[in-house]
């Protein structure tokens, strides 16, 4: 049998070191052969903005060698929906895209640290130093007490004389007194620091987590058969972004024929955590967070209703006007004043968006490139202008308000619908207020009010009221009402007027409503399915005045009481 030389400790140590180095080298070589990490810089190139979300596209261009690689994308927004991320691209050689992994990282920018936070941090550091001094003083106090308790009381001859006892007790007492005085001062210092921290940082804020800027990091696995130049397009959906329509409606009645100009604008906002710098922007009318299918309808049962106890409603403050609307109003008023004071100049044209109207949605391609920083500020973008032919009338409902209001109606003839939104109204160059437009499809009609017309005088007065109680054998009570509405045109030209009034509607067989013979015959009834509303539509000549009578009688059982309530729309 061959002779085996036993291994010495030094031989074993060298062998283990050599094996470890070989193992580490093999692992590193294997890792290099399998995947190389590549950091890629990307920028936002295109954004499709919906009313309640956005689809963002980023582009990446880089050169990669042959083999397997992991492309790292840093600073993706935390609002990114990981399930929505899609990767597409092109290359001169064959490239296979593998899996995509995500991780998050927190960033606390130095610029986000406020002065208050810095003061609190400094006070906490100071409090830690004082606490350390308290701990040291407590240790000294405990040591003095242990030495005093562990003393055997024996000197060289086994006993302490009176002078030695006095000196020992005096030394222990002085040291304990000094330590206690130091502890009291340090505890007072801690209370002072805690008070300053409480004044700077309320308790609710102390338990609130630190505001961190969360970013996502995406790792994309790719494999290239040969070295190539790679172009990737990354698309993903983010929340915290959207847009809303707003309109400028300008009515001009100074010419022989009134004209109307309707300007579409978009107020866009985004708070996604990433800035959109010099990006191509598309606005879509499609809502991506709305349901995708009709809800399942279930049956319902009817039962008796128990009316709750009435509650006293607290008055609510009126909502503050939106900053964007106020800004546009101020701009319109300033432009009106400047136009009156300055000589006529050539109008500056505004860029308009390209409209792509589909069967189920409409898209507005914003010209050029747009920069939208992340934050709560809204940005106004002009989408285009339409000039429909308006029909101008004067409308009044004197039972509610004896004022005549100018109204312009028009037919939506564009290829895109008018979305619900706020309207800033101006008449003959003067800003008059704000209104609102509903959803109007192409081909449908819309109307807008443009303020009061002080040259149309309206008055509605009660002419008579007769109440008849039931007789000796009667069981019915009646009440007769009569109102007179007078309208006069003080303009120097004819004006078409729409006068609205109302007559009660009964939904109970025991209550009857009878129109009297003296009531003026309405030209129309129940406009827009508003039951009980009657309408007269005269065209008044200059200085012409007309009167219309509303007269009706109510009958109901004498043992009951009646009341008027609004009908549901």
Burial of 436 (0-12, 13-18, 19+ CB in 10 A): exposed
What is residue 438's predicted lDDT score, i.e. its pLDDT? 92
What is residue 241's predicted lDDT score, i.e. its pLDDT? 92
- How many angstroms separate the CA atoms of 333 and 265, rounded? 18
> Which residues, in sequence order, are CB contacts of 98 under 8 Å at separation 6+?
220, 221, 222, 223
What is residue 263's predicted lDDT score, i.e. its pLDDT? 94
Mean pLDDT, residues 271-293 taken together: 87
Residues 136-180 have pLDDT tens digits of: 888 888 877 777 666 545 444 555 566 776 777 777 778 888 888
What is residue 466's predicted lDDT score, i.e. its pLDDT? 87
Percent of the chain having pLDDT more than 90?
40
What is residue 490's predicted lDDT score, i.e. its pLDDT? 96
What is residue 194's predicted lDDT score, i.e. its pLDDT? 87
In the predicted model, is pLDDT for residue 319 greater than 70?
A: no
Residues 217-240 have pLDDT tens digits of: 888 899 999 999 999 999 999 988
Closest CA relative to residue 247, chosen from 437, 525, 460, 506: 437
pTM of the model: 0.63
Q: Which residue ranges make up each domain of the chain? A: 34-108+213-238, 111-206, 456-557
> Which DSSP string do the residues of 412-423 spell out, in sequence order?
--SSSPBPSEEE
In the predicted model, is pLDDT for residue 480 greater than 80?
A: yes
In the predicted model, is pLDDT for residue 113 greater than 50?
A: yes
Strand intervals (E) in 253-316 = 259-270, 276-284
Of 197-201, 252-256, 419-423, the poorest mean pLDDT is in 197-201
Query: String of b and e for 444-475 (b: at least 16 CB within 10 Å)?
Result: eebebebbebeebebebeeeeeeeeeeeeeee
Which has more pLDDT, 48 or 299?
A: 48
- How many angstroms separate the CA atoms of 376 and 381, rounded? 16
Of 375-379, 424-428, 435-439, the poorest mean pLDDT is in 375-379
> Which DSSP string do the residues of 13-73 spell out, in sequence order?
HHHHHHHHHHHHHHHHHHHHHH-EEEEE--EEEEEEE-SS-EEEEEEEEEEE-SEEEEEEE
Which has more pLDDT, 129 or 200?
A: 129
- How many angstroms separate the CA atoms of 512 and 140, rounded? 100
Look at the block and give the residue holding tokens 């805690």: 194
Residues 436-477 have pLDDT tens digits of: 999 999 999 999 999 999 999 999 999 988 888 876 666 889
pLDDT band, very low/low/confident/very high, at 201 (cuts 50, 70, 90): low
Which has more pLDDT, 327 or 201?
A: 201
Please give the mean pLDDT across all residues of the chain: 80
- How many angstroms separate the CA atoms of 43 and 473, rounded? 91
pLDDT band, very low/low/confident/very high, at 540 (cuts 50, 70, 90): very high
Mean pLDDT, residues 481-510 taken together: 94
What is residue 292's predicted lDDT score, i.e. its pLDDT? 75
Q: Give a three-class secondary structure readout of 492-517.
A: CCCEEEEEEEECCCCCCCCCEEEECC
- How many angstroms separate the CA atoms of 400 and 445, rounded? 25
The two structure tokens encoding residue 357 = 């109207």
Residues 287-307 have pLDDT tens digits of: 877 777 878 888 777 675 666
Closest CA relative to residue 554, chosen from 462, 501, 480: 480
What is residue 321's predicted lDDT score, i.e. its pLDDT? 46
Which has more pLDDT, 369 or 25?
A: 369
In the predicted model, is pLDDT for residue 395 greater than 90?
A: yes
Q: What angle do CA 303, 305, 311 make, to 5 degrees?
A: 160
Mean pLDDT, residues 310-334 taken together: 51
Rank 32-41, 61-70, 96-105 by mean pLDDT and report only the highest: 61-70
Percent of the chain having pLDDT more than 70?
78
What is residue 300's predicted lDDT score, i.e. its pLDDT? 74
Closest CA relative to residue 370, chosen from 379, 357, 358, 361: 379
In the predicted model, is pLDDT for residue 208 greater than 60?
A: no
Q: What are phi and psi of 327, to 5 degrees?
A: -65, -45
């Amino acid at each position: 049998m061959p002779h085996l030389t036993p291994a010495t400790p030094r031989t074993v140590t060298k062998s283990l070191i050599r094996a470890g180095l070989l193992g580490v080298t093999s692992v590193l070589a294997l890792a290099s052969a399998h995947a190389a990490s590549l950091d890629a810089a990307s920028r936002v190139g295109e954004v499709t903005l919906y009313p309640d979300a956005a689809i963002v596209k980023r582009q990446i261009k880089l050169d990669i060698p042959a083999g397997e690689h992991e492309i790292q994308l840093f600073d993706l927004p935390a609002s990114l929906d990981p399930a929505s991320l899609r990767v597409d691209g092109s290359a001169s050689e064959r490239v296979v895209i593998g899996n995509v992994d995500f991780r998050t990282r927190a960033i606390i920018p130095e610029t986000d640290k406020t002065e208050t936070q810095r003061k609190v941090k400094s006070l906490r550091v100071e409090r830690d130093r004082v606490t350390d001094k308290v701990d040291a003083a407590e240790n000294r106090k405990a040591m003095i007490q242990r030495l005093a308790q562990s003393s055997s009381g024996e000197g060289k001859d086994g006993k302490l004389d009176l002078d030695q006892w006095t000196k020992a007790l005096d030394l222990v007492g002085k040291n304990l007194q000094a330590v206690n005085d130091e502890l009291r001062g340090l505890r007072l210092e801690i209370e002072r620091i805690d008070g300053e921290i409480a004044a700077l940082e309320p308790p609710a804020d102390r338990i609130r987590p630190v505001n961190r800027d969360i970013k996502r990091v995406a790792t994309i696995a790719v494999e290239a058969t040969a070295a190539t130049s790679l172009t990737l397009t990354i698309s993903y959906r983010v929340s915290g972004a959207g847009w809303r329509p707003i309109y400028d409606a300008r009515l001009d009645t100074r010419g022989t024929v009134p004209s109307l100009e309707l300007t579409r604008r978009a107020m866009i906002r985004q708070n996604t955590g990433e800035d959109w710098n010099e990006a191509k922007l598309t606005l879509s009318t499609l809502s991506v967070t709305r349901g995708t299918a009709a809800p399942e309808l279930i049956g319902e049962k009817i039962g008796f209703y128990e009316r709750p106890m009435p509650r006293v409603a607290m008055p609510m403050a009126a909502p503050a006007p939106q900053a964007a609307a106020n800004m546009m109003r101020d701009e319109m008023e300033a432009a009106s004043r400047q136009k009156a004071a300055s000589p006529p100049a050539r109008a500056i044209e505004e860029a308009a968006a390209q409209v792509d109207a589909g069967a189920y949605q409409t898209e507005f391609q914003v010209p050029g490139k747009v920069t939208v920083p992340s934050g709560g500020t809204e940005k106004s973008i002009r989408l285009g202008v339409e000039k429909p032919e308006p029909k101008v009338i004067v409308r009044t409902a004197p039972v509610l308000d004896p004022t005549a209001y100018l109204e312009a109606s028009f037919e939506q003839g564009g290829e895109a619908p008018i979305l619900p939104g706020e309207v800033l109204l101006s008449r003959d160059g003067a800003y008059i207020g704000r209104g609102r437009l509903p959803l109007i499809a192409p081909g449908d009609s819309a109307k807008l009010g443009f303020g009061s017309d002080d040259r149309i005088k309206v008055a509605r007065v009660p002419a008579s009221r007769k109440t008849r109680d039931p007789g000796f054998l009667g069981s019915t009570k009646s009440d007769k009402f009569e109102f007179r509405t007078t309208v006069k045109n003080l303009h120097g030209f004819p004006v078409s007027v729409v006068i609205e009034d109302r007559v009660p509607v009964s939904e109970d067989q025991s209550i009857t409503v009878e129109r009297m013979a003296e009531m003026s015959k309405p030209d129309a009834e129940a406009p827009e399915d508003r039951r009980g509303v009657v309408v007269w539509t005269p065209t008044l000549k200059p200085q012409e005045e007309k009167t219309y009578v509303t007269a009706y009688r109510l009958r109901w059982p004498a043992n009951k009481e009646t009341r008027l309530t609004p009908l549901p729309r």
